[in-house]
């Protein structure tokens, strides 16, 4: 009998990997109920792929490379762009209700794409529509054993030095050691480390902490993408106003009604996401406010064309047909993650990573809009192919593992506020050093909880990168170095070694 694969996480990458891993048996662990707790279901824009008559995979690859600001692995971008159209056709065949008119795909234009290239579902419902189709398929798949409400606490070290499975907590709070020759991390984002995020707040970089504890390398953790137009209505997480709105012609204005993206960039509202996020941040810092004005561009069609954004606005008493939408930047996507090759292998025997928690260099310093769902599909399938080709000969023997300490809610909120203040859209040495001191204090009080370990990777890398590039902007080093070099860090390199500073120092 073939040995099972454990997959931790049930967003697009985890589910697509699980579906393609047959005939191997998959144990799919998801901390929430299927369909909840993953960013996938909240994705609005859609999936980027060269599906239009005027488009080609090499154009998609070159936009991906350009957006990534000198740190994109070209082979990864080419693989993504070439495999993209077929992945979307396969999702359509599975029942994901992409919009089409006859043979032609309805495609949206988003920032930094040279073509309209984003396949969408019912306006802004891409994530929800795709996730529903994937969930139907995994529930019908005989090879997948779904365990809802099971959280990964730690990876089990193997006697041979690799990974031998997962220490997991069931919904009743009991710990279980689940041994497996192969474990795939698909736990998504770390947006929940920030006070303002568009991701589930439970996404706190768990994969980084667990993989690093087993010796895996973390790549480019300083590169966090801030979406410029989260709807600023005091909700946690913050609902998104999709970039497709700007693709339709919606403009960004200050409290006086002045457009503020026209001067800073020739592409104005469709400038790369990091540029727009910094301009929105600066308007807010200057007290001018930032608003997305879709009154003319979308107007009366809003409820039908962008139902999720419309519902979020209405929940706060805003009618976007009549009023501009208040917006703020929010942590949205992590370009960094557990370092992998192009098949999701981490370099630690038996340990794989796919989707947002993985980093193979595809997104570089700044992810191109709507490339994330496609990343989960293309590289999830590649990992599954590899896992099924190499039927495991490895006999694992798991050693002891302890569950990670939990961070109390009050400490988590302190961490989130500090991350937004000092490792957010604009960073500098003073703030990052103060933030490291806060992490040291929290770790001294509560132990090396997963969110603290993940935050430490982001902050240490941000402190070491004395330049600005993509999503990482240092006000004390505002220019990019001539050559971009990726960051690779292990746990030993980021462990606390600084004295605990007084915040006033």
Could you list the residues that contact ligand SIN (CB under 6 A)? Answer: 44-45, 242-244, 332-333, 369-370, 372
- C-beta of 219 vs 332, nearer to ligand SIN: 332
The least CB distance from residue 341 to ligand SIN, in Å, is 24
How far, in Å, are 81, 134, 139, 248, 440 from residue 90 at the CA level?
Answer: 15, 11, 18, 28, 47
Is the previous residue joined to 237 through a cis bond, with omega within 30 degrees of 0? yes
Closest CB to ligand SIN among residues 244, 292: 244
In degrees and rounded to multiples of 5, residue 369 shows phi and psi of -55, 140
Rounded CA gap, 38 and 200, in Å?
Answer: 6
Between strands 351-353 and 224-231, the pairing is unpaired
Which residues, listed in sequence order, are joined to residue 300 by a DSSP beta bridge? Answer: none
- Give the shortest CB-365-to-ligand SIN separation in angstroms: 15
We find the least distance from the C-beta atom of residue 28 to ligand SIN, in angstroms, to be 25
Which residue sits closest to ligand SIN, CB atoms considered?
45
To ligand SIN, the closest distance from the beta carbon of 64 in angstroms equals 12
* Residue among 162 and 376 whose Cβ is closer to ligand SIN: 376
Minimum distance between the CB of residue 118 and ligand SIN, rounded to whole angstroms? 8
- Between 365 and 459, CB nearer to ligand SIN: 365
CB pairs under 8 A, 24+ apart, for 177-180?
A: 177/398, 177/401, 178/6, 178/27, 178/29, 179/396, 179/398, 180/3, 180/4, 180/5, 180/6, 180/27, 180/350, 180/396
DSSP conformation class of 378: H
Nearer to ligand SIN, 50 or 156 (CB): 50
In the three-class reduction of DSSP (H, G, I as helix; E, B as strand; rest coil), residue 43 is classed as coil
For this structure, is 273 an active site residue? yes
Q: How many helices (H) and strands (E) does the chain have?
A: 14, 21
Long-range CB contacts (within 8 A, 24+) of 437-442: 437/498, 437/500, 437/501, 437/502, 437/503, 438/414, 438/503, 439/415, 439/496, 440/496, 440/498, 440/500, 441/500, 442/407, 442/411, 442/414, 442/415
Query: Of 17 and 242, which has the nearer Cβ to ligand SIN?
Result: 242
Collapsing DSSP to helix, strand or coil, 146 comes out as: strand
Q: Which helix (DSSP H) or strand (DSSP E) does residue 81 occupy?
A: helix 74-94
Residue closer to ligand SIN, measured from CB, 64 or 370: 370
For residue 94, the number of C-alpha atoms closer than 13 Å in the C-beta half-sphere is 24
What is the nearest approach in angstroms of ligand SIN to the Cβ of residue 198? 8
- What is 198-243 written as a DSSP string? SS-TT---HHHHHHHHTT--EE-TT-EEEEEEEE-SS-SSPPB--T
Minimal distance in Å, beta carbon 401 to ligand SIN? 34
Q: Measured from the CB of residue 111, what is the shortest distance to ligand SIN in angstroms?
A: 8
Spatial separation of the C-alpha atoms in residues 103 and 124, rounded to whole Å = 21
Q: Which residue among the candidates 273, 295, 381, 382 is catalytic per the annotation?
A: 273
**Contact present, 332 and 226 (Cβ < 8 Å):** yes
* DSSP structure class, residue 482: S
Please identify, using beta-carbon distances, which residue of 311 and 485 lies nearer to ligand SIN: 311
Q: Which residues are catalytic?
A: 273
């Amino acid at each position: 009998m073939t040995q099972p694969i454990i997959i931790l996480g049930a967003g697009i990458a985890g589910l697509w990997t699980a579906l393609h891993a047959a005939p191997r048996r998959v144990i799919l662990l998801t901390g929430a109920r299927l369909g909840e707790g993953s960013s996938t279901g909240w994705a609005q824009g859609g999936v980027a792929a060269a599906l239009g008559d005027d488009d080609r995979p090499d154009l998609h690859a070159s936009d991906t490379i350009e957006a990534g600001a000198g740190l994109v692995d070209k082979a990864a971008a080419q693989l993504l762009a070439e495999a993209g159209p077929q992945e979307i056709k396969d999702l359509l065949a599975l029942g994901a209700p992409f919009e089409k008119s006859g043979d032609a795909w309805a495609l949206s234009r988003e920032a930094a794409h040279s073509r309209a290239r984003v396949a969408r579902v019912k306006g802004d419902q891409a994530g929800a529509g795709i996730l529903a189709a994937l969930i139907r398929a995994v529930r019908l798949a005989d090879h997948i054993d779904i365990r809802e409400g099971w959280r990964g606490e730690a990876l089990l070290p193997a006697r041979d030095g690799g990974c031998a499975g997962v220490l997991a907590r069931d919904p009743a709070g009991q710990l279980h050691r689940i041994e497996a020759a192969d474990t795939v991390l698909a736990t998504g984002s770390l947006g929940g480390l920030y006070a303002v995020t568009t991701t589930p707040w439970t996404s706190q970089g768990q994969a980084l902490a667990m993989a690093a504890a087993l010796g895996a390398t973390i790549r480019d953790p300083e590169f966090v993408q801030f979406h410029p137009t989260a709807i600023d209505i005091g909700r946690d997480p913050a609902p998104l106003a999709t970039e497709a709105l700007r693709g339709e012609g919606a403009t960004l204005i200050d409290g006086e009604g002045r457009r503020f993206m026209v001067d800073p960039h020739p592409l104005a509202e469709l400038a790369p996401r990091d540029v727009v996020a910094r301009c929105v941040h600066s308007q807010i810092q200057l007290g001018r406010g930032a608003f997305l004005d879709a009154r003319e561009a979308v107007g009366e069609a809003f409820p039908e064309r962008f139902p999720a954004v419309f519902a979020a606005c209405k929940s706060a008493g805003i009618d976007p047909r009549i009023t501009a939408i208040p917006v703020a930047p929010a942590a949205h996507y992590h370009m960094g993650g557990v370092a992998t090759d192009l098949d999701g292998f981490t370099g630690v025997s038996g340990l794989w990573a796919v989707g947002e928690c993985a980093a193979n260099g595809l997104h570089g310093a700044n992810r191109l809009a709507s490339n994330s769902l496609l990343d989960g599909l293309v590289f999830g399938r590649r990992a599954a192919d590899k896992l099924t080709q190499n039927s495991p000969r490895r006999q694992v023997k798991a050693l002891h593992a302890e569950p990670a300490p939990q961070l109390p809610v009050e400490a988590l909120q302190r961490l989130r506020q500090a991350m937004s203040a000092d490792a957010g859209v604009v960073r500098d040495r003073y703030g990052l050093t103060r933030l490291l001191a806060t992490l040291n204090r929290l770790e001294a009080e509560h132990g090396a909880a997963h969110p603290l370990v993940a935050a430490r990777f982001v902050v240490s890398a941000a402190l070491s990168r004395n330049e600005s590039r993509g999503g990482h902007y240092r006000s004390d080093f505002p220019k990019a170095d001539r050559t971009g070099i990726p960051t690779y860090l292990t746990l030993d390199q980021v462990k606390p070694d600084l004295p605990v500073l007084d915040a006033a120092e």
